[in-house]
A and B are shown apart, each in its own frame.
Chain A
Amino acid sequence: DIQMTQSPSVLSASVGDTVTITCRASQPINDFLAWHQQKPGKAPKFLIHRAIFLKTGVPPRFSGSASGTEFTLTISSLQPDDFATYYCQHYDGSSPYTFGQGTKLEIK
């Protein structure tokens, strides 16, 4: 099974900051990497697919990158609405379609 290792577990930042979350796959996943955002008590929301492509309607301050088996989610100029938990997920190819452990982005 492919393991997804996400870091950090918790990230403290201020409004206006730029932050980066990293996700590493235990083997190549052909960039079948998604990022999801979840706020407390709410269903997750889909942000990015194929590692770098934003879902329609997602603000451009969100961006994704890929280098081999390492993937990053960058949020520029943090807004109050961005404080949430973020998950990466390997979503195609071979199951199980594993999620990372999650990164809680909290206000400093």
Chain B
Amino acid sequence: EVQLVESGGGLVQPGGSLRLSCAASGFILSEHYMDWVRQAPGKGLEWVGRTRNRAQNYITEYAASVNGRFTVSRDDSKSSLYLQMNSLKIEDTAIYYCVVWMSMVGSWGQGTLVTVSS
């Protein structure tokens, strides 16, 4: 069974940094695309970033709103996906979800809350 468990969320001041983790099980991480998606309070879903699979050289892609501040990475040996968030802004406050794409079929984690506030 595919399982994704996010962690690392919390309260951080504007300008600060935070690293989120997504522990994956039930599949081989290196074979699949992985996304981060976020949802601000009371708002819709926003795609944040992607790391493609090993076959596609782990190419990363980002939304314009986070490009240059956020970095998606993975450690296949630990079956883990990461989101390094730097220069955080108040508008980055959201629940952050990781998503795995397996043969174009997605599965979601349960999310972790990030609050950026002074």
Identify the A interface with B (CB < 8 A): 1, 32, 34, 36, 38, 43-46, 49-50, 55, 87, 89, 91-92, 95-102
Are the C-beta atoms of A97 and B44 separated by less than 8 Å?
Answer: no
Asked if B45 and A97 sit within 8 Å, CB to CB, the answer is no
Q: Which of B37, B44, B63, B109 contacts A102 (CB 8 A)?
A: B44
Cβ B47 vs Cβ A89 within 8 A: yes
Closest Cβ neighbor of B95 among chain A residues: A43
Contacts of A97 in B (CB 8 A): 35, 47, 50
Cβ of A101 and Cβ of B104 under 8 Å apart? no
In the assembled complex, which residues on chain A have CB atoms less than 8 Å from the CB atom of B35?
A: 97
Candidates A43, A45, A49, A89; contact of B111 at CB < 8 Å: A43
If the complex has contacts A49-B104, A92-B104, are A87 and B50 also in contact, measured as CB distance less than 8 A?
A: no
Decide if B64 touches A55 in the complex (CB within 8 Å). Answer: no
Q: A101-B44, A102-B45 are in contact. Are A44 and B108 (CB under 8 A)?
A: yes
Query: Is A95 a contact of B50 with CB atoms below 8 Å?
Result: yes
Tell me whether A95 and B104 are in contact (CB under 8 A). no
User: Once bound together, how far apart are the Cα atoms of A83 and B104, in whole Å?
Assistant: 25
- When chains A and B are docked, how far (Å) is the Cα of A99 from the Cα of B111? 17
Contacts of B111 in A (CB 8 A): 43
Contact (A87, B44) CB under 8 Å given A43-B110, A43-B111, A95-B61? yes
If A96-B64, A97-B35 touch, does A45 touch B108 (CB 8 Å cutoff)?
yes
Cα A89 to Cα B46 in complex, Å, equals: 10
Cross-interface CB contact of A49 among B46, B63, B106, B110, cutoff 8 Å: B106
9 contacts across the A-B interface (CB closer than 8 A): A46-B108, A55-B105, A95-B47, A95-B62, A96-B63, A96-B64, A98-B47, A99-B37, A99-B46
Known: A95-B61, A96-B63, A97-B35. A43 touches B108 (CB 8 A): yes
5 A-B pairs with least C-beta separation? A95-B61, A46-B106, A99-B45, A102-B44, A97-B47
The answer to whether A89 touches B105, judged by C-beta atoms less than 8 angstroms apart, is: no
> A93 CA to B45 CA in the complex, in Å?
19
